[in-house]
Structure 1
Amino acid sequence: MRKITRRSFLAAAAACGAAAALTACGGSSASTAASSTASSAAAADGQTYTIGICQLVQHAALDAATQGFQDVLTEEFGDNVTFDLQNAQGDSATCATITNGFVSAGVDLIMANATPALQAAQAATDTIPILGTSVTEYGVALGLDNYDGTVGGNVSGTSDLAPLGEQADMIVEWLPDVKNVGLLYCSAEANSQYQVDEVQKYLEAKGVTATQYAFSDSNDLSSVCQQAANENDALYVPTDNTVAANTGIVDGICRPAKKPVFTGEEGICSGCGVATLSISYYDLGRTTGEMAVKILKGEADISTMPIENTNVTKKYNEAICDDLGLTVPEGYEEIEG
Structure 2
Amino acid sequence: MKTATRAALLGLTLACSLAAPAMAADVRVSVTAIVDHPALDAARKGVTDELADAGYVNGKNLKLEYQSAQGNTATAAQIARKFAGDKPNVIVAVSTPSAQTALAATREIPIVFSAVTDPVAAKLVKSWEATGGNVTGVSDLPSLDKHLAALRKALPAAKRIGVVYSPGAANSVAAIAELKKLATPLGMTVVEAAASRTVDVASAAQSLIGKVDVFYEPTDNNVTSAFESLAKVADQGKVPLISADPSVATRGAAIGMGTNYYDLGRQTGKLVVRILKGETPGKIASEVSTTLEMHVNKSAAQRQGATFSEDFLKTATKVID
Paired residue type of 1:178: A
Match of 2:42 in 1: 64
Match of 1:115 in 2: 96
Match of 2:286 in 1: 307
Match of 1:81 in 2: 62
User: Which sits farther off after the overlay, 310-319 or 258-267?
Assistant: 310-319
1:211 Cα deviation after fit: 1.4
1:47 Cα deviation after fit: 7.3
Contact 1:243 1:268 in 2 (8 A): no
Match of 2:115 in 1: 134
Give the whole-Å Cα distance in 1 for the aligned partners of 2:82 and 2:176: 34
Matched, 1:157 2:137: yes
Q: 1:261 to 1:325 in 2, by over 3 A?
A: closer
Match of 2:217 in 1: 237
Contact 1:266 1:276 in 2 (8 A): yes
1:274 to 241, 254, 273: 254
Q: Size of the alignment, in residue pairs? A: 293
1:273 Cα deviation after fit: 1.5
User: Which sits farther off after the overlay, 147-156 or 69-78?
Assistant: 147-156
Give the whole-Å Cα distance in 2 for the aligned partners of 1:85 and 1:335: 33
Secondary structure, counterpart of 1:229 in structure 2: coil
Instruction: List structure 1 segments (4+ residues) > 6 angstroms apart after TM superposition.
Output: 43-47
1:278 Cα deviation after fit: 1.4
Match of 1:31 in 2: none
Matched, 1:191 2:191: no
**1:33-52 alignment runs, 5 A limit:** 48-52=26-30
Give the whole-Å Cα distance in 2 for the aligned partners of 1:241 and 1:207: 29
1:285 Cα deviation after fit: 0.7
Q: CA RMSD in A?
A: 2.0
Match of 1:175 in 2: 155
Matched, 1:293 2:268: no
The sequence identity of aligned pairs, in percent, is 30
TM-score (norm 1): 0.82
1:151 Cα deviation after fit: 5.1
TM-score (norm 2): 0.86
Paired residue type of 2:78: T
- Name the larger-Rg structure: 2
Paired residue type of 2:47: F
1:143 Cα deviation after fit: 6.5
Give the whole-Å Cα distance in 2 for the aligned partners of 1:319 and 1:188: 33
User: Which sits farther off after the overlay, 186-195 or 147-156?
Assistant: 147-156
**1:243-282 alignment runs, 5 A limit:** 243-282=223-262
Structure 2, unpaired ranges of 5+? 1-20
Structure 1, unpaired ranges of 5+? 1-42
Give the whole-Å Cα distance in 2 for the aligned partners of 1:225 and 1:262: 13
Secondary structure, counterpart of 1:141 in structure 2: coil
